[in-house]
Structure 1
Amino acid sequence: MNSRLHLIAGFKAGKSYVKDLYVSLPFRVVSVGQRKSDDKLYQMIMSSSPGILDGDHYHLDISVEKGASLQLQSQSYQRLFNMKDKAVQELHISMEDDTSFAYVPHPVVPHEDSNFKSQAKIHIGNNSQIIMSEIITCGRKHYGEVFKLKRFQNLTEIYHQNKLVLKDNILIQPDLIPINSIGNLEEYTHQGTLIFYTTKEHVHKEHLINTIIESAGKFQNKMEIGVSEMDDNGFVVRSLGYGGEMMYEFFLHIQEILWELN
């Protein structure tokens, strides 16, 4: 199934709002955070499908106009079902100047023989920031499906002024790359990545990183967490653990810290 989602976040009279929205099955988008008084836009992506099926091709186009702030949320864990061929997702995000965008979705659950590729291309304007994350689980552990997927790939590229400033490529293919080997996941069953990049000035990156590391202290002996600092105003948080919910709550906490910057 070819499915499309097109969302434009506009900005008028000091408030962010849904300027345009188009979805096809199985997508649905609803407003959340109505009680918030920060005049930012909060939207949840929902789906009538139980998960991503063989042959699915998702096209998601998000535009954030000058001055707008958009935070997307997911409905639930994203299941990748058994596939004979593959499924694909393409995400395109266009951010004008003075904008903010965040998307911290629930974990992905790849079933046995699933084959999925996701590609995100983001163009960020001046004085703007983006928060993106992904959590990959081992699959349905209680069904004995521990990394029995065929292939999983998530490629993220961020551009500023048409220059590539960040490229992150996650690839899990157990028949070629032993998942439990040294340098891969070893004994862990869940992997998480959170990317923060900003073109704003006077962002105290070192303070933010220290705050995140301090917050990770309460997960000692439950998750391994590291932060890679970029040359400019950005960093990548990596986490390894044994459960998706704990990792998801940690990423939501990081999002809350970073979202307050805009």
Structure 2
Amino acid sequence: MPRVTGRVAASFTDVDGVTRLGDRYHSYPLKIAKAFSFDEGQLGIYMMDASPGIMSGDAYELEWRFGENTKAFITNQSYTKVHPMLCDAEGGYSDGPSQQIQRLHLSRGSYVEYLPEPLMLYKDASFDSRTEIRMENDSTLLISEVVCPGRTQRGELFQYLQYKNEFTVYYENELIYCAKQRIEPSMQRLQHIGGWENYTHYGTLYVFSERADIVFADALRDYLDKVVTDDLVSSGGSALYYGISRTYKYGILVSVMGVKVYELQEFLERAWKFARGRLFSGDPFVVRK
């Protein structure tokens, strides 16, 4: 079993239309570094990792509970970096894979934006990620992820051992989305036809809300088609491969692949701001790090 080396648990409450940070706990190297206020009573949270990253065999646990009618924005200060697995004297691996377990509970009427920095998988890294989300009636969640194939400037390209990702969402105790992903570069022909071909990075923006219907999906698709054609490509950006799909109910996924992480981040940021305006009537803002 991986040893739990970092834990964050926090709850949010609504006080006269303003969201406040309630009970919270964190253990080294994870830390709730700063809270700051946005308009409309929304509370922003920075999470910090004081270590160089997730070491071999370690595990992070993060649990967030959002009370009724709370409004929160959560991000972290830097990439989540997964270090190589350690070898024993016989040349095998002495630890199991590193892990990150996230649990989010959204009470009735809550609105949450959870936009962490990308995940970086170092050479010989093995990482299991599990995210479980439980939502109550009239709650809304915007959550993103971006995965890098390694430290590309060092020549690392799909040299990690394994990446597993399990993502489940329940709405009023009904399973509305479940995805399981397993990537083993040494066992899979990722950069061939039917795989990732020439793409190296991928990202996803998930939008879960009762208002995330087909009308919203079509409007978001039209907007992103215009962004890619008129803005990103015309400004000299690389080609992006993206698509929009709907979950069983109450959910939209924006998935994108590319070769430069900042281009995926910009694309997903545009999608987030569009969704924020439609679902929250919120003005776009910049989070400085």
Quick check: TM above 0.5?
yes
Aligned length: 261
The alignment-based identity, stated in percent, is 24
The C-alpha deviation readout for 1:52-111, integer Å capped at 9, x for no partner, is 111211111100100001111121122111113310111011111101112122111111
Alignment-derived partner of residue 175 in structure 2: 164
For structure 2, which runs of at least 5 residues remain unmatched after alignment? 87-94, 281-289
Q: 2:48 aligns with which of 46, 59, 75?
A: 46
1 CA distance for matches of 2:62 and 2:194?
A: 33
1 CA distance for matches of 2:165 and 2:213?
A: 31
- Secondary structure of 2:219's counterpart equals helix
- Counterpart check, 1:155 vs 2:157: no
Q: What is the identity, as a one-letter code, of the residue corresponding to 1:99?
A: S
The C-alpha deviation readout for 1:152-182, integer Å capped at 9, x for no partner, is 1121100012111011223221122221122
The alpha-carbon distance between structure 1 residues 169 and 17, as it changes in their structure 2 partners (threshold 3 A), is: same
Alignment-derived partner of residue 124 in structure 2: 113
TM-score w.r.t. the length of structure 2 is 0.85
Alignment-derived partner of residue 14 in structure 1: 17
Task: Note if contact 1:44-1:72 (Cα within 8 Å) is conserved in structure 2.
Answer: yes
The alpha-carbon distance between structure 1 residues 174 and 63, as it changes in their structure 2 partners (threshold 3 A), is: same
Task: Note if contact 1:16-1:70 (Cα within 8 Å) is conserved in structure 2.
Answer: yes
Alignment-derived partner of residue 227 in structure 2: 215
Task: Note if contact 1:90-1:120 (Cα within 8 Å) is conserved in structure 2.
Answer: yes
2 CA distance for matches of 1:235 and 1:212?
A: 14
TM-score w.r.t. the length of structure 1 is 0.93
The alpha-carbon distance between structure 1 residues 259 and 30, as it changes in their structure 2 partners (threshold 3 A), is: farther
Q: What is the identity, as a one-letter code, of the residue corresponding to 2:221?
A: I
2 CA distance for matches of 1:202 and 1:111?
A: 38
Alignment-derived partner of residue 102 in structure 2: 91
TM-fit CA distance, 1:185: 1.2
Task: Note if contact 2:108-2:137 (Cα within 8 Å) is conserved in structure 1.
Answer: yes
- Secondary structure of 1:251's counterpart equals helix
For structure 1, which runs of at least 5 residues remain unmatched after alignment? none
2 CA distance for matches of 1:192 and 1:201?
A: 19
Q: Which moved more, 1:115-124 or 1:196-205?
A: 196-205
Alignment-derived partner of residue 254 in structure 2: 237
2 CA distance for matches of 1:37 and 1:194?
A: 23
Matches within 5 A, 1:1-262: 1-2=3-4, 3-34=6-37, 36-84=38-86, 85=95, 86-200=97-211, 204-205=215-216, 206-217=218-229, 218-220=231-233, 221-260=238-277, 261-262=279-280
CA RMSD of aligned residues (A): 1.8
The C-alpha deviation readout for 1:118-148, integer Å capped at 9, x for no partner, is 1000001111111111111111112221100
The alpha-carbon distance between structure 1 residues 201 and 228, as it changes in their structure 2 partners (threshold 3 A), is: closer
Q: Which moved more, 1:21-30 or 1:115-124?
A: 21-30
Task: Note if contact 2:122-2:156 (Cα within 8 Å) is conserved in structure 1.
Answer: yes
Task: Note if contact 2:75-2:115 (Cα within 8 Å) is conserved in structure 1.
Answer: yes
Task: Note if contact 2:176-2:248 (Cα within 8 Å) is conserved in structure 1.
Answer: no
- Secondary structure of 1:52's counterpart equals coil
Q: What is the identity, as a one-letter code, of the residue corresponding to 1:179?
A: L
TM-fit CA distance, 1:233: 3.4
Task: Note if contact 2:162-2:185 (Cα within 8 Å) is conserved in structure 1.
Answer: yes
Q: Which moved more, 1:155-164 or 1:170-179?
A: 170-179
The structure with the largest alpha-carbon Rg is: 2
TM-fit CA distance, 1:190: 0.6
- Secondary structure of 1:38's counterpart equals helix
- Secondary structure of 1:212's counterpart equals helix
Task: Note if contact 2:115-2:143 (Cα within 8 Å) is conserved in structure 1.
Answer: yes
2 CA distance for matches of 1:70 and 1:214?
A: 29
1 CA distance for matches of 2:253 and 2:16?
A: 34
